[in-house]
Structure 1
Amino acid sequence: MRKSGTDNLVPAIKSPGDAPSMKGAEQFEIFPDYGPRINRRHMVAAAVVAVPLLFGFTGLAIRYAAVASTLAEPGFEAYARALCRWDCHWYVDISERGYERFPIPNQSNVGRWGFFPFYPLLVAVIRAIFPFPTIVVATVASLACSYAACLVAWPLLKKNMQAYVLYCAFLLSGPFSFHFTTFLSEPLFVLLTSSVFLALKRSSYPAAGISSALLSATRLVGVLVVFATVIEMFQQHRKGGGSPLSFPRWVLGRPDLLVAILISPAGLFAYI
């Protein structure tokens, strides 16, 4: 009698050790495909970097087009000089000549001493490295500070892309973007203010103190940011279960907090 074809079949599994491996399936479960997530993260990071660049160049083009007809000669330096208005001239003088003694002859109520030194000093240092005209160096520095302020604002805006785009648009190409792209203290002031709040958000009080000190050397009102630091410390103390009455003792027991508070007005005192 002819044997059936099924009789010739050899069992594929002779022992438990011969069972098909599930290693591939286990790897699929343990190591899922992170490709889409990683790609999305890279796309967001690229957008965070590119958005302020886009608005920075757009704003530069808009402002240049607005003043191009008034320029005696084309070029970035002529554009920068055309936008140097009001306090900008004082900052240029401070960066190039420093402060004069008070009072100025024939101008007893006017002086460069009314403007704080950190930004003019920073521009002077950059100019010593890159020997370009002061207004050109200052304009590029202001653009860089405004760009950096946008990047620092990203985590402060809770990584909300819509809010971030609007912030960058108004700062770099909005109606008041002129103030953040010429030799005025606003670009550095906004950058340092954002840095203080970012440091407080991350509970990095020494970094907040350093940024506050530089802020107080940039503009007089910068010294007031120390109150934001103290308020954040108080909130942290309360979240930890501390009472309002124990707050001073808690601060005195934390050297990092004490140093952050004490160095915040250092820029103002150094200037005075």
Structure 2
Amino acid sequence: MLNIIGFKRYPRIYQAICLGLGFTLIQVLFGCLFSNSQNLVEGYSKLCRWDCDWYTHIIEHGYRSTIPPTPQNPDLSNVAFFPGYPAIAGAIKNVFNLSTQTALLLAAQIACWGFWTYVFLLFQRWRISDRLSLCGAIAILVHPAAFYLVAGYSESLFLMMLLGFLYWTASKKRVAWILAATHGFVMTATRVVGLPIAIYPLFHFWLLSAKDRQAKPFRFWQKSSKYLLVSAVSILGSLLFFAFCYFKFGAWNFYMQTQAIGWGVKPNYLAIFKPESYFAFLDPKILNLPGVINAISVPFALISFFIVFLLERKAAPFLIEGSWKQRAEFYVAGWLMFYLSACGMSSLSMTSMVRYTFCVHVVLVLATIHLISRTQFYRLFNQKWIVFLLLLMATPSLLLQMKFVGMFTNMQWVA
């Protein structure tokens, strides 16, 4: 993938940045081409649909609401969205004097660039071969909901901050903890599912400092203060929004109230333990393509976790002891996102889950690529026929994404 004349002579960070930009431009072009538009400019503008309109209202009018909230009326109640994404888009709008919708799209696409850059930085850190890196990138790119990375949604910003949070937490550079805390703050300010992930630095330190816990307990607790600070700053992204809701609307959980009244989101935290959660696609109320795909995404995600677990068990005898700890962060983040999203959408027949499980898909792909690279399986990816076979298998998912892009950009609900 990097065998471009002279490209490998540049520092790895520049390689990752260039590859990230390339994949972002591919996704933007893909979205424009399959939007059923007369030209690329019209197709580009159509990437701002659905939730993008809500973010537009928040930027132009600020947060507002009746008490109690009004069901799905942006002029009366718009507190159902976290402030991270509209705040950054609003800053871009003011700095460059752009229209709100253009600023929202640029914010998402710049974040998409950042997301892909972190994907390739992780591959570089793990010393993944070019061919295996390409397979991992394509596995992310062809997901049916991957186009949301360049649409006017918060997916790309959340994923960029999540990967940056994980990347810098594991880094040994002096400024790494500051960068990790900054990414964590924006992550929790962008989506509520980022809040539990914010404790990851403590989990990371506890996991990788087992020897210090036993041999040098004082040094262990002394070193843990940095990771505690990263988690504390990260959590502030959500806590400050909750504080804002309390002082402006009289309830810290006003976001949750707006979600419940406006969209019917009533989390059931035991939902993933109930069989009916995995058979929502049989619900006659959602017998349409997006509804079925959203519902099927839940059992598919659970099966993906199971397959990765089996791969870990199968590969364990051939791996260096403790190798799994490098992947634990991705498994934990993936499971927390899956659990909270599935429980939240259980009252709505798992609507939007193809979009929410895309984030889960990303971290599982990254963990799987790391696992494969540490086993003999990576040699298979040196065979061109294996890469061709994987591309062939990915074709149906890509075709489904093309269909979803056309629906989304022409105001048909997808997720």
TM-score by length of 2: 0.49
Instruction: State whether structure 2 residue 26 is matched by structure 1 residue 58.
Output: yes
**Amino acid of the structure 2 residue aligned with 1:264:** S
* Partners of 1:59 and 1:173 within 8 A in 2: no
1:227 paired residue number: 199
Q: CA deviation at 1:202?
A: 0.7
1:11-160 map, 5 Å: 41-42=8-9, 45=12, 47-69=15-37, 74-76=39-41, 78-103=42-67, 107=71, 111-157=77-123, 158-160=126-128
Of 205, 221, 226, the residue aligned with 1:256 is: 226
Q: CA deviation at 1:92?
A: 1.6
**Amino acid of the structure 1 residue aligned with 2:63:** Y
Q: Which moved more, 1:169-178 or 1:134-143?
A: 169-178
Instruction: State whether structure 2 residue 162 is matched by structure 1 residue 190.
Output: no
Q: Cα distance 1:149–1:105, how it changes in 2: closer, same or farther (>3 A)? A: closer
Between 1 and 2, higher relative CO (CA 8 Å, sep ≥ 6) is seen in 2
Q: CA deviation at 1:184?
A: 0.8
Counterpart CA distance in 2 for 1:187 and 1:235 is 28
Q: Which moved more, 1:215-224 or 1:173-182?
A: 173-182
* Partners of 2:205 and 2:224 within 8 A in 1: no
Q: Which moved more, 1:91-100 or 1:174-183?
A: 174-183
* Identity %, equivalent residues: 20
Q: How many residue pairs get matched? A: 228
**Amino acid of the structure 2 residue aligned with 1:82:** K
1:36 paired residue number: none
**Amino acid of the structure 1 residue aligned with 2:53:** H
* Partners of 1:192 and 1:215 within 8 A in 2: yes
Counterpart CA distance in 2 for 1:206 and 1:105 is 37
Of 243, 254, 258, the residue aligned with 2:214 is: 243
* Partners of 2:21 and 2:113 within 8 A in 1: yes
Q: Which moved more, 1:96-105 or 1:259-268?
A: 96-105
Q: Cα distance 1:192–1:252, how it changes in 2: closer, same or farther (>3 A)? A: same
Provide the secondary structure at the position in 2 that maps to 1:112: coil
Counterpart CA distance in 2 for 1:67 and 1:186 is 19
Provide the secondary structure at the position in 2 that maps to 1:217: helix
Structural RMSD (CA): 3.1
When Rg is computed on C-alpha atoms for both structures, the one with the higher figure is 1
* Partners of 1:196 and 1:208 within 8 A in 2: yes
* Partners of 2:188 and 2:194 within 8 A in 1: yes
Deviation readout 1:222-257 (Å, 9 max, x if unpaired): 111223211111023214x3239948x843665423
Q: Cα distance 1:221–1:144, how it changes in 2: closer, same or farther (>3 A)? A: same
Q: Point out where structure 1 has 5 or more consecutive residues left out of the alignment.
A: 1-38
1:169-184 map, 5 Å: 169=138, 171=140, 175-184=144-153
Provide the secondary structure at the position in 1 that maps to 2:199: helix
TM-score by length of 1: 0.71
**Amino acid of the structure 1 residue aligned with 2:228:** L
